[in-house]
Structure 1
Amino acid sequence: MLNPRFKGAAKVAASNAAQIQADRVAALSQILDVLPDAAAIIDSTDHVLASSDNCIAMGLVSLDRIGSVEIRALNREVHRLHKTQSRDVVIKRNGSRLSEWEARIQISPIDEELSLMIAQDLSEERRLNDVRRDFVANVSHELKTPVGALSLLAEAVQAADSDIEQVRHFTSRMQIEVKRLTAMISDLVALSQVQGDAPLRNSAPVNVAEIIGEAVDATKIAAEQKGIEVAVSDDVNVGKIFGDEDQLNVALSNLISNAIKYSPNNTRVGVGARRNDDVIEISVTDQGPGIPEEAQSRIFERFYRVDPARSRDTGGTGLGLAIVKHVCANHGGDCLVWSQVGQGSTFTLRFPAYQNGAGTPTEVTGK
């Protein structure tokens, strides 16, 4: 029979061990809500001793136990091997109206009994991968057209080498395709720059009147070729925008260039600016065919064209408005469009006005 003194000592030791473990769990639980991903402290029997607030809503925890059978199996594997293990699993969120989600589960042993489980949501990663895949597919498709045309035209030139008129005709077509290919590559480079990790490396106060003048000059030849007057309103000295001058020039030049491309010959494109409290607005108005209402929500998507056949005729790449959108976002602004079929369109860039000494402005609000 065990001595009562030893029984008492055993109880005290067990109590002390339990208290030590409870203190460790309490200390570890303080960092769970600080972690960017859902996390929990679990034991070898799949009980959850502490968890971040989002674990239950995300379906990781149910009645103080690990909810997923796959995660339980992973937990047993961790305790058997005594090393960190990870696995991608599909988890059913709690509630019938909530969908499944993909997670990368990593479980790391803390000691013989406890482990730390971290669940990384893969939904955003999958979405970005889908966007990249679609972008690559679109680029490949868009580049294939001018490259294929150049190949066919080169063969035609070779076959018609004795017919000077035919050679001239084919070479002029080749120049058109080369221009289209060059424009596509230039826009891809511009888009990659405005979507970069540090899109505003060269930020400074930029005078609105100056960027309007530069953008109008950049599109002057295209306007003259169609007999289009680019009319700038009398007072565009509305202040400054804090940002990257090159990006702002590209965005405004794209809008004016589009207005010229889609306007009939011998018409007018208007460019104006105004200041509304702490917001500067730069608008470009054309007399083009207008944009159907159902297409207006998509025109800022990469490679989207309202009329693909007309875009081929005008040499459009389908990237210009996507660049405009990203430039606006980089500067805390946005781009609005008003358009009616048969009456033309007005695009308005909206940016926070630069306040002297105030540094980088806040985002535009109150659309």
Structure 2
Amino acid sequence: AAMQGGPVASRELPLGREHGRTFMARAAPVAGTAEGGTVLVLHDISELKRADQIRRDFVANVSHELRTPLTAIRGYVEALLDEPDDPAEARRFLEIIARHSTRMERLVKDLLRLARLDARQEPLDMARCDVAQAFTSVVADFEPSIEDKRQQVQTSVAPDAASVMADPAKLHDVIRNLVENALNYSPEGAEVRLASSRGDGCVRLTVSDSGPGIPEDDLTRVFERFYRVDKSRSRPGGTGLGLAIVKHLVELHGGQARAENLPGGGARFTISLPDVVADMGEPTA
């Protein structure tokens, strides 16, 4: 139609199957020439399409994650309204309601925190943090569940990476979310390893698990909100926002977070935090 001087609507064209790129194609006739012709403009909208899909998935996942506990709570409330004669049964119903309420509370808190992080509304209170102490504090939080699953947590702190400049509370949250994820995906009796090292002006903290690992195609997406590697499986714990919060908190420090598979099985999450804070005049350890 453009060759004949007629109007042509914009169209989306999926090109490049390997990388899944999408282009918006616009064509317009060339005026003022005897031969005629058409100008074709391709605009890469792949990132816009990906962002829109992430937004759609996010809304759908929030709805699902809230609807699931709400449905359970409603069911058990209706059962209690029927006035069960067994006090033990009534107590069991109340415990289930309490558990689902706690899950919803955690989800809402994580959503609100992500909103604050997106808006850059969480200031940093930087201080020199002891890495070994941070590891020990987080492991202590999970001691009951570690004992229940007979898991082991091993820590290794390099002498030149014994401390790092960070916000202590936010560093604790980062390590806690990574350790919780590792414990959830590791089987009973498995080992989770925490380690620190130094390189390229950064302190690297790693959390390695003994789980099933992560498919290569999913490695770049595990830090997305609510993303699940196996869509057919229910989430083993948490709200599905822990790794997204990790990424935001690390980037708030000017660092990076990445995931990789280990040769012998399992996954390793690494956060790299710059250990130079010029305006505070703090020397690196």
TM-score (norm: length of structure 1)? 0.58
Match runs of 1:211-360 below 5 Å: 211-233=134-156, 235=158, 238-308=161-231, 310-312=233-235, 314-339=236-261, 343-354=265-276
Gaps of 5+ in 2: 1-25, 29-38
Match runs of 1:1-367 below 5 Å: 96-99=40-43, 135-159=58-82, 161-233=84-156, 235=158, 238-308=161-231, 310-312=233-235, 314-339=236-261, 343-354=265-276
Q: Cα gap change, 1:281/1:153 in structure 2, threshold over 3 Å: closer, same or farther?
A: same
Question: Which structure has the larger Rg?
Answer: 1
Counterpart of 1:265 in 2: which secondary structure?
Answer: coil
Q: CA deviation at 1:170?
A: 2.7
Measure, in 2, the Cα distance between the counterparts of 1:360 and 1:139: 42
Q: What fraction of aligned residue pairs are identical, expressed as a percent? A: 36
Measure, in 1, the Cα distance between the counterparts of 2:223 and 2:69: 23
Contact 1:259 / 1:286 at 8 angstroms: preserved in 2?
A: yes
What corresponds to 1:17 in structure 2? none
Q: Cα gap change, 1:100/1:231 in structure 2, threshold over 3 Å: closer, same or farther?
A: closer
Q: CA deviation at 1:134?
A: 5.6
RMSD: 3.5
Measure, in 2, the Cα distance between the counterparts of 1:230 and 1:152: 39
Q: CA deviation at 1:248?
A: 1.5
Q: Which amino acid aligns with 1:139?
A: V
Gaps of 5+ in 1: 1-91, 102-122, 362-367
Q: Deviation per CA, 1:231-268, whole angstroms, max 9, x where unpaired? A: 11154661543332222211110000111111111221
Q: Cα gap change, 1:266/1:133 in structure 2, threshold over 3 Å: closer, same or farther?
A: closer
Q: Which amino acid aligns with 1:147?
A: L
Q: CA deviation at 1:295?
A: 1.9
Question: Higher relative CO (CA 8 A, sep ≥ 6), structure 1 or 2?
Answer: 2
| Alignment: residue pair count | 249
Contact 1:180 / 1:315 at 8 angstroms: preserved in 2?
A: no
TM-score (norm: length of structure 2)? 0.73
